[in-house]
Chain A
Amino acid sequence: QQQVKQSPQSLIVQKGGISIINCAYENTAFDYFPWYQQFPGKGPALLIAIRPDVSEKKEGRFTISFNKSAKQFSLHIMDSQPGDSATYFCAASRRGGGSQGNLIFGKGTKLSVKP
């Protein structure tokens, strides 16, 4: 059972455009929702994260929108640049440590930003 569903699988955006990636979760016990960026041959790197007590968080060109009632959250990349071309993963975890607090990842979205 996939607990975090991510869409789309791939995304092509023109330079300067807005990239939007969506995730939906099932477990209401999740209390932490990060987004990771992964370049080929590298491990995932934390991009931005949100807790369920806020509806939006912005860091530079990256914004997370969170809808607790719909159990959905999304990543918006404003003014997308070719250097943003990477695979993006949403994730979620429950309160606590060990296996409870481990990150559960979506399947990823491969973003290509065309010059």
Chain B
Amino acid sequence: ETGVTQSPTHLIKTRGQQVTLRCSSQSGHNTVSWYQQALGQGPQFIFQYYREEENGRGNFPPRFSGLQFPNYSSELNVNALELDDSALYLCASSRQGNKYGYTFGSGTRLTVV
């Protein structure tokens, strides 16, 4: 059983640019949630995707958007990057939105300069 894989592992972008982060869900999982973890903080919920539709969103602006594909993999897109977007972005997959069975990936470390 493969776990959750995220790519890239590290990324440096300039303020104002756009970025796409990718996540492959664990085998058998059809729901993907994205979290932002700032340095020294706990993860914060960005949004969740189920059946290729956004299924809930946290307190993040519209420049944070996502996609889920038929194979349940997902992308997180962030437009007009700001310095405060620098963080570890975590993807978690689960079965049918089952919050009890979250499996997190190792994350993508995004640095905005």
Contacts and interface: CB of A to CB of B under 8 A. Distances in A.
Contacts of B48: 97-99, 102
A48 B83 CA distance: 35
Interface size band for B: 20 to 34
Nearest to A36: B104
A83 to B, nearest CB: 18
A44 B44 CA distance: 12
Interface residues of A, number: 27
A45 B44 contact: no
A99 B107 CA distance: 20
Contacts of B106: 41-43
A106 B45 contact: no
Contact of A46 (B42, B44, B97, B102): B102
A99 B47 CA distance: 7
B4 A104 contact: no
Interface in B30-65: 33, 35, 40-45, 47-48, 50, 55-58
Interface of B: 4, 33, 35, 40-45, 47-48, 50, 55-58, 90, 92, 97, 99-100, 102, 104-107
